[in-house]
Structures are given as C-alpha cells and as structure tokens.
Amino acid sequence: MWVGIFCEITEFALLFAVFFVARAHHPEAFQAGPERLSLLAGTGYTLMLLTSGWCVARALHAMRRGDRRATVRWMLAGFVFGLGYPTIKVFELQRNFALGLDGSAGVFIVSYYYLTFTHLVHVFWGLLGMMWVIVRTGLGAYTTEEHSGLEAFACYWHVTDMIWLMIFPLFYLLG
C-alpha cells in the first residue's frame, strides 16, 4: 500500500517542482492567475474531499468496533461527497471554457489543468476503489480483526486529499 502511495507522492512532487519553476519564470502570469479561476469552485472541491475523508475515517472506526452497517453508511456518505468533486469539476470546466480558459490560455492555466487533471485521475481511482470497498464491506469481507483492504483504501484516499490541500492554495490563493 505504502509503495503505491509513495509513487503518488513522487509523481506530484515532480509536478510541484515544475509548477515552482514555471512560477519563477512567469511571475506575472502566476500572480494574475488565481483571479481567473473560481475560488468558490476551489473551496467547494476542498470541502467535498475533506468531508469525504472524514466519512472514510469514521467508517474505519465503525469497522474497528465491529459495526458493519455503520461502516457501509459512512462509506456511502464518503462516496457521495467524493462524487461532489467531479461534479463541481464539470461546472468549473464549463465556466472556464466559456471564459476562454482552455489549453491556449497561458502558462498558468496549462499548469493548472496539468496538475488538477492528474489529481482528478487519482480521485477517479479512489472513487472506483471506494465502490469496491463498499461492496466488500456489505458482503462481510472485512471483520474487526481483518480489514486491511479498507485501511489501505482509507490511506490512499487521505493522501489524495492531502495532495489537494497542497494544490488548492497554489492555484486559487497565491496571487
């Protein structure tokens, strides 16, 4: 599990390095960048992912005390909030394209799409994994003593959440 998580961290560490170099070479573009994006959408992603992560953490605790039904309920809630991320993404992309913020809109927007789409892919993997874990929990595959699959998923989801907590201020706040 941790090998996979470290691959994810390494991938984003490289992308962040590219971001910092691009920002150093184009300070004006990056200074004006956040005003071109929707802070409401950025805050919305953050709240959805944090709330989804909270639900997953509560699900894991419910499993540890042997409450399978509560685990499924918390996981389903986590999935619904997790789905909020791609849902907001659809609305934000519609807004961005209407404002002409596509791949030709400059180095800031290109960096933004590159990092956030890579993160979106990781969120999709996480949502698929969450569906799998919900089904397995419902079928009784995990017990109080053995629920390493659920724990592995929870770790992945929280790290994906952490990566977003780094991306959010880089693009939406640092002007």
Partner 1 sequence: MSPERKIGDRRIDLAWLMLVLLSVGGAGIGSSDANAVLVAVGVSLVMAIKLRLVCTYFLELHEAHPRIRRAVLAFCHGMPILVILTTAFGDTLSRLTGALVG
Positions 133 through 172 that interact with partner 1 (CB under 8 A): 154-155, 158-159, 161-162, 165-166, 168-170, 172
Helix (H, G, I), strand (E, B) or coil at 166: helix
CA neighbours closer than 13 Å in the CB half-sphere of residue 98: 8
Closest CA to 56 of 118, 124, 131: 131
Residue 107 as a binder of partner 1 (CB under 8 A): the answer is no
Cα-based distances in Å from 160 to 43, 72, 131, 143, 166: 16, 21, 16, 25, 10
Q: Round to whole Å and give the CA distance between 159 and 4.
A: 11
Reported as type and span, the H/E element at residue 38 is none
Name the minimum Å distance from CB 162 to partner 1. Answer: 5
- C-beta closer to partner 1: residue 79 or 168: 168
Nearest to partner 1 of 56, 133 (CB atom): 56
Q: Which residue has the tokens 């969120």?
A: 123
Q: Binding residue for partner 1 (CB under 8 A) from 39, 80, 131, 141?
A: 39
Q: Which of residues 40-69 bind partner 1 (CB under 8 A)?
A: 42-43, 46-47, 50-51, 53-54, 56-58, 61
Residue 92 binding partner 1, by CB under 8 A? no
At 93, give phi and psi (nearest 5°): -65, -40
Q: How far is C-alpha 140 from the chain's CA centre? A: 28
Q: Closest Cα partner for 48 from 110, 91, 19, 2?
A: 91
When binding is defined by CB under 8 A, the residue of 25, 69, 117, 131 that contacts partner 1 is: 25
Work out whether 34 is an interface residue with partner 1 (CB under 8 A). Answer: yes
Residue number, 64 or 95, with CB nearest to partner 1: 64
**Applying CB under 8 A, which residues contact partner 1?**
2, 6, 9, 13, 16, 20-21, 23-25, 27, 31, 34, 39, 42-43, 46-47, 50-51, 53-54, 56-58, 61, 154-155, 158-159, 161-162, 165-166, 168-170, 172-175
